[in-house]
Structure 1
Amino acid sequence: MKLMQSGLAALMLISASTAALADEVKVAVAANFTAPMKLIAEAFNQDTGHTAEVAFGATGKFYAQIKNGAPFEVLLSADDATPAKLEAEGMTKTGSSFTYAIGTLVLWSADPDLIKDGPKVLGRNQFRKLAIANPKTAPYGAAAMEVLKGLSIDQMITPKLVQGENIAQTYQFISTGNAELGFVALSQVFKDGRIGEGSAWIVPADMHKPIRQDAVILKNGENNAAATALMDYLKGDKAKEIIRSFGYAIP
């Protein structure tokens, strides 16, 4: 009986110690990374005891919020420029940034018959609206504009463009039929190793600048063990497996 009580007390002490060591980290995450981050945050909690409190949105808006004192401790950006800019401005833990994923742009329609011959559907111009994320605040939107300019159809298409605040809203425009097609992140339509629904053209990587997505610890998280743990976790095999499963490349 005493042995059982002793073992129970030891177990409770270990649990208490683990709880004491566990911490929370506030994370700003690019909207295109919503689905994989939800799975990573859950696995991170199970494997480390730490909790990631996650907000999803446009990278450009997160930059403005961070500059205005938002309490985020880690940023998972949709580009590599924003973390570099924040580091240059003294807003990050020096040397903490790294590329956690390389994104893929896709022209997608909820209509399974609309996109049958790649970008030719754009040249035919037989649609009402084409959705893209705001190119001023969302890297996937900027990449979409590069593609349109590269195809020499940007001026023709511009009157038909509808801009989402971020890539999540852009996907919503297309999925609800408010726009017949548009440019989104492959991760939003990629399931079980293929395009889940609708029709799509995966944009060749050489048609736009690489969408290198960098993570960085912000000044608020410099001394937060959970922030450091999350960055380490993103570099681990379990997180990488989740990231690849959504169609991202790993550097």
Structure 2
Amino acid sequence: MAKNHKAPVVVAELGRPETPAETATRKARDSRLYRERKTVNNLVFSLLVSLGLVLVIFLMVPRGTGGFADHEVNVTTLAAEASPSAGRDLVAPEVPQEWKAKQAELRGGDKVTSWQINYTTVDPATGHEAYAAVTQAFTSDGEPVEDLWIAQQLEQQAPTGNEKLGGMEWITYDHTDRSSDNSNVLFALQSTWGDDTILVYGTDSPATLRLLATDVAKSLATSKGTE
């Protein structure tokens, strides 16, 4: 019995059956479009998987209820630990209990090494917070710290006077007309202790920073056994 051959299908847009060449072209096009759609789908799926992994990692990272506002370091302990590396006693002033020492570290440089303490200060009457810092800088060969380095720490501000606090002579930098939004140095004091340069500065009031400088002087005097 003869096998019946299926009549060619008429393609609507052609109005006639496809030629073998047209059929091959159509199949090749359909295959290409399928692969392209599959690639896009895979990309979307990969992106969703990546986002899901990021979310999982984010949720797995432990986070306390505090943060920088609650962060505080023990200046006295850190100063004692860093002093052998510095080759000298490092200043650790006593400050009001309301203050928080955010950082106390020994910083090395090409020519100057510095002991840097950063505080968040608090006015107990108003609760207003500000910034205060203490820097004890020195060189490995005992040469004076260069004026350029000091100027960089004090944001290139010019000295405005001199005064004596805690038995030490200080150069003052009174620039309280500046905005604390754009500067960390509204008022500063500079002195020397042996071969070391001592800086006290910040955005708190001159009166508060003078008290800090006095506490710094007491700490230095105690470390030398002269108090």
TM-score (norm 1): 0.27
Larger-gyration structure (1/2): 2
Higher relative contact order (CA 8 A, sep 6+): 1
**Structure with the larger strand share:** 2
TM-score (norm 2): 0.29
